[in-house]
Amino acid sequence: MTGKKEFTVTVYMQNRTGVLNRVSIIFSRRRVNIESLNVTSSEMPGIKKVVFVLSEAEEAMRKIIRQIEKQIDVLQVYHHINSPVSAIASNN
């Protein structure tokens, strides 16, 4: 598929076994490879903050994010498109 961009997707979820698994399955079903995954406690007790980095076309990623938002125990999803480091460097 052409036009893939790199996304950072941040998911706040209840600290319950299996929630991360359900979200990960959404990516694997759609053949989206996970570049990076970071799980930490959030500033809210009982809530985990999970940060994914993935490459996908924008429209496909929008659909995936909507699906993640519908998951039980998912509280909030944020995302942004990552600028290439070369673009950031050329601004300086």
Ligand X SMILES: CC(=O)[C@](C)(O)C(=O)O
User: Rule CB under 6 A: which residues touch ligand X?
Assistant: 13, 15-21, 39, 48, 50
Q: What is the DSSP track for 26-87?
A: HHHHTTPPEEEEEEEE-SSTTEEEEEEEEEEEHHHHHHHHHHHHTSTTEEEEEEEEPPPHHH
Report DSSP state, residue 43.
S
Nearer to ligand X, 51 or 57 (CB): 51
Which residue number has the CB closest to ligand X?
20
Handedness of CA 49, 55, 60, 62 (dihedral sign): positive
Q: How far is the CB of 54 from ligand X (least distance, A)?
A: 17
Q: How far is the CB of 33 from ligand X (least distance, A)?
A: 19
Nearer to ligand X, 58 or 78 (CB): 78
Nearer to ligand X, 3 or 18 (CB): 18
